[in-house]
Chain A
């Protein structure tokens, strides 16, 4: 079992719709969770982080965390073509590194 699992996609959504991305993780010690956006050929850009169970909203992005189910998700509301990118989930557990999933590619169609 991989430490962090994400559906590789592509997740195709029409412009204006909600994109829903899921991530499961195996380390129950994970306390902090980060979502990064990565455009093709560019480096990852931090867009959201969440520490507590429940929802956290920031603009068009909502992160949802359920530690009991070892599940974290990212919702992108009112999806725009500029949201087309790969979204990386990265739990932080003990130690100092982030463990990244393989990412979900999102394609927003006008």
Chain B
């Protein structure tokens, strides 16, 4: 069990560029979550997958954000036309079937200049 991994760990981009992050959940965890966290705040839910199905999406998630989990294993989160307000830590978590506890990856810190 190697834990949740995320790539890259840091990303600096210019406003207007597109960025994509990857998350590899714990093996055999069928649920995968994306959260965003800004300084001094708790993580804020973005979206959730059960296997390859995206079952829930925050109403706060603008249409510039899209997430996929094509084979029910790793997931990608894409942000199009980045804005300075997108600067945050993007966290991925996974949980096993039938349990609600979530295990977080190390996060991807995005800085939009």
How many A-B pairs with Cβ below 8 Å? Answer: 55
**Contact of A46 with B103 at beta-carbon distance under 8 Å, contacts A88-B42, A100-B43 already known:** yes
A43 touches B56 (CB 8 A): no
B48 touches A34 (CB 8 A): no
Instruction: Specify which of A36, A49, A99 is in contact with B45 (CB 8 Å cutoff).
Output: A99
**Interface status of A95 (Cβ within 8 A of chain B):** yes
Docked CA distance A95–B33 (Å): 12
Q: How far is the CB of A7 from chain B (nearest CB, A)?
A: 13
**Interface status of B25 (Cβ within 8 A of chain A):** no
Q: Select from chain A the residue with minimum beta-carbon distance to B89.
A: A43
Q: How far is the CB of A56 from chain B (nearest CB, A)?
A: 13
B100 touches A100 (CB 8 A): no
Docked CA distance A99–B33 (Å): 12
A98 touches B107 (CB 8 A): no
**Contact of A95 with B56 at beta-carbon distance under 8 Å, contacts A43-B106, A44-B91 already known:** yes
Q: How far is the CB of B106 from chain A (nearest CB, A)?
A: 5
- B residues near A (Cβ < 8 Å) are 31, 33, 40-45, 48, 50, 55-56, 58, 89, 91, 100-107
B42 touches A103 (CB 8 A): yes
Residues on B with C-beta less than 8 A from A95 are 56
Docked CA distance A99–B41 (Å): 12
Instruction: Specify which of B41, B56, B91, B104 is in contact with A97 (CB 8 Å cutoff).
Output: B56
A46 touches B101 (CB 8 A): yes
B104 touches A44 (CB 8 A): yes
Docked CA distance A100–B40 (Å): 12
Give residues of chain A (65-110) contacting chain B, Cβ–Cβ below 8 Å.
Answer: 88, 90, 92, 95-103
